[in-house]
Structure 1
Amino acid sequence: MTALLTFRDAIARHAHGDGTFATALPGVTLIRCASPTLPMPVIYEPTVCFVAQGRKRAALGERVFHYDPASYLVATVGLPVMGAVVEASEAAPYLCMQLDLDPALLGELTLQHPRPLPAAMDDSAGLTLGAMTSPLLEAATRLLKLLDTPQDIAPLAPLALRELLYRLISSEHGEVFHLMARTDTRQAQIARAILWLRANYRDASRIEMLAEVAGMSRSSFHAHFKAVTAMSPLDFRGQLRMQEARRLMVGEGLDAATAGHRVGYDSPSQFSREYARLFGLPPARDAQRLRQPD
């Protein structure tokens, strides 16, 4: 409990007010939220989220993950997720440290400390939970406390980051990180297809094209893509389109028809139907609600 309080206080010192805060530590972002939030779409890059206080819900397709100080969330590939803070208050705000995973460093450490991978791991979901342990919490706290002494960041942050990643790859759930570091797995093939799809989501790409990018047959690609992302390639593309359309309407003031066309929809009615199915409201009403929160 003392270690958790130290971790919580370290985040609170450097996250002033609600929001997302970049830090001087490589790959480290802090998040604070003093009240529960509506489900919001976000792209989870390969990352680990450590919660110091509060609770969050992440939905990937039909799979739902709740994480809090007893667990951490790992995203192994870039995924469109619906996230919501479900436990937070002014007295006890949601506090989180997010660590973007460095593929080169992760690869180096997994080569130095190899472990066998069960065959079934190759089809594991791109979003998963791990159990927080005392060594892992202490390593995360040591890294974060370097923000209190900025002059120590350059010489000590690389060491603290290596320790934290070592704790992750050697933990009970370390196979997830070893799998991420390999390039000869089905998950790596799907990750290549995801990167291509994220760059070309506006286009009406055929499944055969994505399967070719992944180096798989159509049927094999569809099965493995759904195992990793919990959705079909077309549903995945639809979520990417809807997230960008929402950003265009709320952030840039585009009307629904223009935003829908911008992300690849020729039919405004189809765009409106699919948008309402994902977000619960027609595009214009949803954008107005987000521009004028209660």
Structure 2
Amino acid sequence: MKQRIKELVESRITEDGMFETGINGVRLFKVTDAIPCAPAVYEPAIIAILTGKKEAILDGEHYVYDNRQYMCCTVSLPVEAGTPTASPDEPLLGIYISLNTKVMTELAIEMETTSGAIKPPKGSSQPPSMSLANWDDAFSDALLRLLLLGEDKADVDILGDSRLRELYYAVLKGEAGISARTAFGVGNQIARSIEYLSQYIGKNVTIDELAALVGMSRAVFHRKFKQATRMSPIQFMKSMRLNRAAMKIAAGMNVSEAALAVGYVSSSQFSREFKRMYGQSPKQWSQSTALIENIV
């Protein structure tokens, strides 16, 4: 099945870039240039690699994955991402599938209603919000059926949502299922707090405000947040703001506008924290970084 999926994708991509399939949230991508890891923000998505390798770094932990595993990201996360080994002879080829949080929540709650509450492995903490999962038959079959819709508008309009739902269900039942069901099921407080934070990234959102939003004490919220993201809420907010600013600067926005857009009132504070995180001033960053838009 995986070989058939690869052939389908190769037949639809002739050059580098990110390409729409016509199915809502499903895109194909190809990269033939080595791109070092740079600041990015992962949104809730599945990334399935068919050839080559992809790398993401979350709070110092490296995730390198190829066609043996797919990446499942369940919340918005500040990461560094790149394709350091891509080349014309060994291109990165893959599929990016945005997760519809409403549908994922409906499925996760339905699964809990049917099979009972989530039961993480004994002794484990809440799983991270970014995980790798081996391709299993259910995932491969659902992905193939989704891509076989091709570009026929009638097929996509009539069957697209149901085939996406089938793929989501395969993810929830697979190795990334505990992580996904925790993020989207009944106990999804941390995911909701991150969604709120992402929505108001340019405002001064406090930890107490986030904790109150999900009905937790500050201490419990801090502990659960760090279990889910590997970062404290304060670290997470700073990384998210700086990563979004770095992406805006690399895309051509001037430094002052980028700082204001992510909630910094003081340009000097922004420059200090930016240099501390990336080893370059915002101005140096804008001169040295080439952003390949839409390659995730």
TM-score w.r.t. the length of structure 1 is 0.86
Deviation at 1:81, TM superposition (A): 1.7
Deviation at 1:70, TM superposition (A): 0.4
- CA, structure 1 residues 176+90, in 2 after alignment: closer, same or farther (shift >3 Å)? same
State the distance in 1 between where 2:229 and 2:25 align: 24
State the distance in 1 between where 2:16 and 2:63 align: 23
Aligned residues: 287
State the distance in 2 between where 1:266 and 1:173 align: 39
State the distance in 2 between where 1:45 and 1:291 align: 21
- Name the structure with the higher helix share: 1
User: What SS class does the counterpart of residue 180 from structure 1 fall into?
Assistant: helix
Partner of 1:288: 287
State the distance in 1 between where 2:43 and 2:262 align: 21
User: What SS class does the counterpart of residue 30 from structure 2 fall into?
Assistant: strand
Partner of 2:258: 259
Deviation at 1:206, TM superposition (A): 2.8
Deviation at 1:154, TM superposition (A): 2.5
User: What SS class does the counterpart of residue 280 from structure 2 fall into?
Assistant: coil
Deviates more, 1:81-90 or 1:103-112: 103-112
State the distance in 2 between where 1:161 and 1:259 align: 35
- CA, structure 1 residues 202+153, in 2 after alignment: closer, same or farther (shift >3 Å)? closer
The answer to whether the 8 Å contact 1:41/1:81 transfers is: yes
1:92-111 to 2 correspondences below 5 Å:
92-110=90-108, 111=110
Deviation at 1:235, TM superposition (A): 1.8
- Structure with the bigger RCO (C-alpha within 8 Å, sep 6+) is 2
User: What SS class does the counterpart of residue 146 from structure 1 fall into?
Assistant: coil
Deviates more, 1:203-212 or 1:146-155: 146-155
Deviation at 1:200, TM superposition (A): 2.5
Partner of 1:199: 199
Please state if 1:22 is matched with 2:23: no
The answer to whether the 8 Å contact 1:36/1:87 transfers is: yes
TM-score w.r.t. the length of structure 2 is 0.86
Partner of 1:55: 53
Please state if 1:147 is matched with 2:146: no
State the distance in 2 between where 1:181 and 1:271 align: 34
The answer to whether the 8 Å contact 2:21/2:151 transfers is: no
User: What SS class does the counterpart of residue 223 from structure 2 fall into?
Assistant: helix
Partner of 2:119: 118
- CA, structure 1 residues 224+4, in 2 after alignment: closer, same or farther (shift >3 Å)? same
Deviates more, 1:271-280 or 1:22-31: 271-280
For 1:131, the aligned partner's letter is: N
State the distance in 1 between where 2:150 and 2:161 align: 13
For 2:136, the aligned partner's letter is: T
The answer to whether the 8 Å contact 1:33/1:88 transfers is: yes
State the distance in 1 between where 2:52 and 2:285 align: 27
User: What SS class does the counterpart of residue 227 from structure 1 fall into?
Assistant: helix
- CA, structure 1 residues 253+27, in 2 after alignment: closer, same or farther (shift >3 Å)? closer
Partner of 1:240: 240
The answer to whether the 8 Å contact 2:128/2:179 transfers is: no
1:1-20 to 2 correspondences below 5 Å:
3-20=1-18
The structure 1 residue matched to 2:140, chosen from 131, 137, 155, is 137
User: What SS class does the counterpart of residue 84 from structure 2 fall into?
Assistant: strand
Deviation at 1:286, TM superposition (A): 0.8
Partner of 1:211: 211
State the distance in 2 between where 1:17 and 1:97 align: 15
Partner of 2:229: 229
Q: How high is the sequence identity, in percent, across the aligned residues?
A: 29
State the distance in 1 between where 2:19 and 2:116 align: 35
User: What SS class does the counterpart of residue 227 from structure 2 fall into?
Assistant: helix
Deviation at 1:122, TM superposition (A): 6.8
Please state if 1:82 is matched with 2:85: no
The structure 2 residue matched to 1:31, chosen from 16, 22, 29, is 29
Please state if 1:250 is matched with 2:253: no
State the distance in 1 between where 2:151 and 2:257 align: 47
State the distance in 2 between where 1:39 and 1:91 align: 20
The answer to whether the 8 Å contact 2:251/2:291 transfers is: no
Partner of 1:272: 271
State the distance in 2 between where 1:245 and 1:226 align: 23
Deviates more, 1:202-211 or 1:106-115: 106-115
Q: Unaligned stretches of 5+ in structure 2?
A: none
Deviation at 1:148, TM superposition (A): 5.0
